[in-house]
């Protein structure tokens, strides 16, 4: 933490964006107690001074010759918007901009692998807007120069309505390349009827009583984070030796036969079907599962802490319609739109005012619809209380590709064993 007060030499030399990210991460973690509510963080300016694509005139250069073309092509994850696409329809009605919406992103790694060839060849990937997670692929996208720098003059709603926490994400300081779509918390989900007791801490994931009934995530970052927190390390401040310890801890868990499987998002099905009794989980999933199947699955942020991540809207550098894209990005930050979106996707909403909006809307409804919406508006998983953030950690921030590869190599054998 104190490191943030000492000027980083590489920063002075105006070196890599990644270092800036790391430095920022440190600062962020220091402020985590307040959920980053404090705006007193002068990183933004420095960030925009960062080299390469982040050169001060980069934004100007990129946007100077761009015009609105009345079309935006949106690439998103499956089931990340109401299939009826009410928000997009509203957007079209308001702006006259046509849209295509495709749920083509299923995994960060595979998405990167898929579009990397086209992007590096400078070809249009067929999308003007894509939602990507703040995993290390985010840095890969950014460091490869695949993301267009955002012109914040075109994002007034974001400036106005975005929760403060979302304005200074560690992985993209100053939102140079991205603004959040939705955010989520990684914690533990469990089926109270199976476990027979409340789950409160990470240690429960290591409880031999649940042998073969514990789900962990196959994403090495998520898995590694939990391993790190279990050995008492803070993921975003962790070192290679912490990683080793965490990997050992996770390997023990696996060898003891406690882990049923390393899941992608399939853990939801597994939890629902009784395949696992408790599992690493993302907050919104559990909400949706309970709502749609009238289940009472629990989600908890473990005592030792959970992690928070963000899925972000970005514009690929080769986009044909960036102006339309950035207009749409800003549109999602209008409070009613943000509320409408959150109603469907049930993840943490980056627009705090949406909570009030939802309650307002609920007042107009009656019966089950009203209760549901009110429940949603009060859900700590969609609008986490400030206190909840106290326990939340960020992803491990890597200083270099080599470091990231080392991290991956440390945890890969556990998942792929």
Partner 1 sequence: MTAQPQTLQRPARTDKGADLRPKRRITGPGVMRAYTWLIILWLILPIFVMILFGFNDTSGRYNQSWEGFTLKWYGRLFDIDDLTRGLITSLVVAVVSSLAAGALGTGIGYALGRYRFRGSGSVNLIMFATISSPELVMGASLLTFFVSLGVGLGVVTLTIAHIMFSISFVATVVRARVMTLDRSIEEAAADLGATAWTTFWKITFPIILPAVFSGVLLAFALSIDDFVVSNFTAGNAVTFPLWIWGATRVGIPPQVNVMGTLIFVAGVVIAVAFNIRSRRAQRD
Partner 2 sequence: MSRLKRTIAPYLLVLPGGIWLIVFFAIPMITMLSLSLQEGDIVNGYTFTGHWQTYVDALDDYRTQLIRSLIYGAIATIILIALAFPMAYWIAFYGGRRKATYLFLVLLPFFVSFVLRTISWRQILTDDGPVLSPLKSAGLVPESFHILGTPTAVIFGLVYNFLPFMVLPIYVALERIDPRVVEAARDLYADPATAFRKVVFPLALPGVFAGVLMTFVPTSSDYVNSTVLGGTDTTMIGQVIQAQYLANSDYPTASALSFVLMAVLLIGVFAYAKVLGTEDVMKVAAR
Decide: helix, strand or coil at residue 237. helix
Q: Which is nearer to partner 2, 7 or 212 (CB)?
A: 212
In the set 198, 269, 303, 369, which binds partner 1 (CB under 8 A)? 269
The alpha carbon torsion through 277, 281, 285, 288 (nearest 10 deg) reads 40
In the block, which residue shows the tokens 């970005």? 314
In the range 164-223, which residues lie near partner 2 by CB under 8 A?
211-213
| Min separation Cβ 183 and partner 2, Å | 22
* Of 210, 201, 267, 259, the residue nearest 230 (C-alpha): 201
Q: Exposed/middle/buried for 64, CB within 10 Å: 0-12, 13-18, 19+?
A: exposed
| Among 56, 78, 145, 413, interactor with partner 1 by CB under 8 A | 78
Size of the site for partner 1 (CB under 8 A): 39
Residue 417's binding partner out of partner 2, partner 1, none, with CB under 5 to 8 Å set by partner kind: partner 2
Strands 259-263 and 98-102: unpaired
Under the criterion CB under 8 A, does residue 49 sit at the interface with partner 1?
A: no
Per-residue tokens: 326: 């950035």
Both tokens of residue 184? 């989520």
Least separation in angstroms between CB 256 and partner 1: 27
Phi, psi of 179 (to 5 degrees): -130, 150
**Residue choice 266, 303, 365, 386 for contact with partner 1 (CB under 8 A):** 266
Which x/- pattern over 222-261 shows residues binding partner 2 (rule: CB under 8 A)? Answer: --------------------------------x----xxx
Options 71-79, 152-160, 207-215, 303-311: segment touching partner 1 (CB under 8 A): 71-79
Q: Name which of residues 82 to 101 contact partner 1 (CB under 8 A).
A: 83-85, 101
Tokens 């982040």 belong to 54
Cβ atoms of residues 357 and 339 within 8 Å = yes
Q: Give the residue among 180, 104, 116, 102 at the shortest CA–CA distance from 146.
A: 116
Contact letters for partner 2, residues 76-115 (x by CB under 8 A):
-------------------------------xxxx-xx--
**In the set 126, 336, 352, 380, which binds partner 1 (CB under 8 A)?**
126
Q: Which of 25, 72, 97, 115 binds partner 1 (CB under 8 A)?
A: 115
What distance in Å separates the CA atoms of residue 134 and residue 183, rounded to the nearest whole number? 10
- Tabulate helix, strand, coil % of the chain (nearest 5): 50, 15, 35
Residues that bind partner 2 (CB under 8 A): 107-110, 112-113, 116, 140, 143-144, 211-213, 254, 259-262, 269-270, 273-275, 401, 405, 408, 412-413, 415-417
């Amino acid at each position: 933490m104190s490191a943030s007060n000492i000027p980083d030499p590489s920063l002075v030399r105006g070196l890599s964006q990644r270092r800036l990210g790391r430095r920022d991460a440190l600062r962020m973690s220091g402020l985590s107690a307040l959920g980053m509510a404090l705006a007193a963080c002068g990183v933004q300016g420095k960030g925009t001074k960062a080299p390469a694509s982040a050169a001060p005139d980069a934004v100007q250069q990129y946007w100077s010759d761009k015009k609105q073309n009345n079309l935006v092509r949106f690439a998103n994850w499956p089931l990340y918007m109401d299939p009826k696409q009410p928000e997009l329809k509203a957007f079209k009605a308001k702006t006259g901009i046509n849209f295509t919406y495709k749920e083509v992103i299923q995994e960060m790694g595979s998405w990167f692998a898929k579009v990397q060839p086209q992007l590096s060849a400078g070809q249009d990937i067929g999308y003007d807007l894509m939602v990507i997670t703040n995993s290390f692929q985010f840095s890969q996208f950014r460091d490869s120069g695949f993301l267009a720098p955002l012109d914040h003059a075109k994002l007034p709603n974001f400036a106005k309505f975005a929760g403060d926490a979302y304005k200074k994400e560690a992985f993209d300081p100053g939102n140079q390349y991205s603004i959040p779509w939705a955010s989520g918390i990684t914690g533990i989900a469990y089926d109270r009827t199976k476990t027979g007791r409340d789950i409160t801490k990470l240690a429960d994931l290591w409880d031999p009583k649940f042998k073969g009934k514990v789900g962990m995530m196959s994403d090495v970052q998520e898995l590694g984070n939990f391993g790190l927190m279990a050995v008492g390390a803070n993921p975003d401040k962790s070192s290679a030796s912490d990683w080793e310890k965490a990997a050992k801890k996770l390997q023990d868990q696996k060898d003891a036969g406690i882990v049923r499987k390393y899941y992608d998002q399939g853990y939801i099905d597994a939890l629902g079907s009784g395949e696992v009794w408790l599992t690493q989980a993302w907050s919104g999933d559990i909400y949706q599962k309970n709502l749609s199947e009238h289940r009472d699955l629990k989600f908890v942020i473990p005592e030792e802490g959970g992690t928070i991540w963000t899925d972000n809207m970005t514009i690929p550098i080769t986009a044909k319609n960036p102006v339309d894209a950035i207009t749409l990005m800003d549109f999602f930050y209008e409070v009613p739109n943000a509320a409408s979106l959150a109603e469907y996707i049930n993840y943490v909403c980056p627009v705090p005012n949406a909570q009030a909006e939802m309650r307002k809307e609920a007042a107009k409804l009656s019966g089950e619809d009203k209760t549901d919406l009110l429940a949603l508006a009060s859900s700590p998983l969609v609008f986490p209380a400030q206190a909840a953030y106290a326990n939340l950690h960020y992803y491990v921030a890597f200083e270099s590709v080599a470091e990231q590869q080392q991290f991956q190599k440390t945890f890969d054998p556990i998942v792929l064993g």
